[in-house]
Amino acid sequence: MIFRNDYDHFANKKQIYFKGGDSGDSFDAAYNQRMATIAESQQGMAEQYFDFWQSDYQPMEQAQIAANIAEIPGQSALNQEQIQGQRDLLPGQTALGQAQNEYGVEQIGANSSLLPGQTAYTGEQIAAGRQLLPGQTELGQAQNTLGTAQAGANLSLLPGQTSLTGEQIAAQRTLIPGQTALGQAQNTLGTVRANADASLIPGQTAYSQEQTAAGRQLLPGQTALSGEQTAAQRKLLPGQTALTGEQIAASRELLPMQTGYSKAQITDSMTAMNERAPVRAAFYDESLKGVDIESRVNKAAADASQSFMNSNNIMRRNSARMGVNPNSGRFASMQNENSLNRAKTVASAKTTARTGAEQENYGRLKTAMGGMA
* All structural domains of the chain with their residue ranges: 2-289, 290-373
Question: Quick check: pTM over 0.75?
Answer: no
Output the CA torsion sign for 120, 124, 126, 130.
positive
Which band of pLDDT confidence, cut at 50, 70 and 90, is reported for residue 37? very high
Give, rounded to a whole angstrom, the gap between the first and last alpha carbons of the chain: 80
Provide the greatest CA pair distance for the chain: 141
With residue 104 as reference, give the H or E element that holds it.
Answer: helix 58-199
- pLDDT at residue 281, as a whole number: 83
Q: Is 25 helix (H, G, I), strand (E, B) or coil?
A: coil
- pLDDT at residue 3, as a whole number: 46
Of residues 101 and 166, more confidence is placed in 101
Please give the average per-residue pLDDT across 42-46, as a whole number. 91
Which band of pLDDT confidence, cut at 50, 70 and 90, is reported for residue 1? very low
Which band of pLDDT confidence, cut at 50, 70 and 90, is reported for residue 151? low
Query: Worst-scoring range by mean pLDDT, 151-160, 300-309, 327-336?
Result: 151-160
What are the residues whose beta carbons fall under 8 Å from the beta carbon of 56, sequence distance 6 or more?
209, 212, 213
Distance CA 63, CA 222 (A): 12
Phi, psi of 18 (to 5 degrees): -125, 160
Please give the average per-residue pLDDT across 7-15, as a whole number. 50
Q: What is the DSSP letter of 55?
A: I
119-138 b/e (C-beta count within 10 Å ≥ 16 → b):
eeeeeeeeebeeebeebeee
Please give the average per-residue pLDDT across 10-17, as a whole number. 51
Percent of the chain with pLDDT over 70: 88
